[in-house]
Amino acid sequence: MASHRKSRPVGTRVAGIRTPALATAALTSVALLSQSANAAPADDKPSLEEVEKKVDDLYRQAESATDNYNAAKEKTATQRKQVDTLLDDVARRTEKLNEAREELGSFAAAQYRTGAGASGTATFLLADTPQDYFDQTQLMGRLTNRQKGAVDDYVSEQSATMKKRQEASQSLQTLTETQSDLKTAKATVQQKLADAREMLSELTAQEKARLAALEKQKQEAAARKAAELAQQQAAAEKAAQEATAPQESTSTPTDSSYATKAAKALAFARAQIGKPYVWGATGPDSYDCSGLTQAAWKAAGVDLPRVTYDQVNAGTTVSLADAQPGDLVFFYDDISHVGLYIGNGMMIHAPKPGAYVREESIYYDGESAIHSVVRPA
Which residues participate in catalysis according to the annotation?
Answer: 289, 337, 349
Is the bond into 284 cis (omega within 30 degrees of 0)? yes
Distances (CA, A) of 124 to 142, 242, 291: 17, 106, 81
**Beta carbons of 207 and 214 less than 8 angstroms apart:** no
- With both helix axes pointing from N to C terminus, report the angle between 289-299 and 48-114 in degrees, rounded to the nearest 10: 60
Q: What are residue 17's DSSP bridge partners?
A: 14
Instruction: State how far the Cα of 191 lies from the Cα of 16, in Å rounded to an integer.
Output: 60
For residue 32, which amino acid is it?
L
**Beta carbons of 172 and 83 less than 8 angstroms apart:** yes
Pure H helices in the chain: 21-44, 48-114, 120-126, 130-201, 205-243, 253-271, 289-299, 308-311
